[in-house]
Amino acid sequence: MPKKILVIDNDPDFVEALVSVLEANGYATLSATDGNTGVMKAKADRPDLILLDVMMRYVSEGLDIAVKLRDESVTAAIPVVLITGIRKADFLAASFRPGEEWSNLKGTMEKPIKPEELIKMVKGIIG
């Protein structure tokens, strides 16, 4: 059974590009175009990994969703990778809520994402 990845991003072209790369590498995919739908899909489908855009309807929507996922018992253990156009993305969560533990965040990727870097990150987290 292939590992399942949920892509949450409000840009349908970007979602399509990520899904194509992931599926070509043997992963099953789900997608959502906003954070709340993404949380519902994560709860219902329990993906192995979530790729989460930071800026969707508002600037911090992705970070707010990462917190919701972390705080829900059914989604807390699902690893999350933040995807953003913000430079210095590694410090994004710490600057959003300083001092908080981000146990579900397993990485960040800056847009544009090279397919080989995406697959390397995914394999490093879920195999």
- More confident of the two residues 60 and 71: 71
For residues 106 and 125, what is the distance between their CA atoms, to the nearest angstrom?
7
pTM of the model: 0.91
Q: Using DSSP bridges, classify how beta strands 105-110 and 28-32 pair: parallel, antiparallel or unpaired.
A: unpaired
**Minimum mean pLDDT among 44-48, 73-77, 104-108: which range?**
104-108
For residues 104 and 8, what is the distance between their CA atoms, to the nearest angstrom?
15
Tokens representing residue 106 in the block: 């397993």
Domains of the chain: 4-126 (3.40.50.2300)
Average pLDDT score over the chain: 90
Q: For the chain, state the CA radius of gyration.
A: 13
Going by C-alpha positions, the residue among 124, 52, 39 that lies closest to residue 93 is: 52
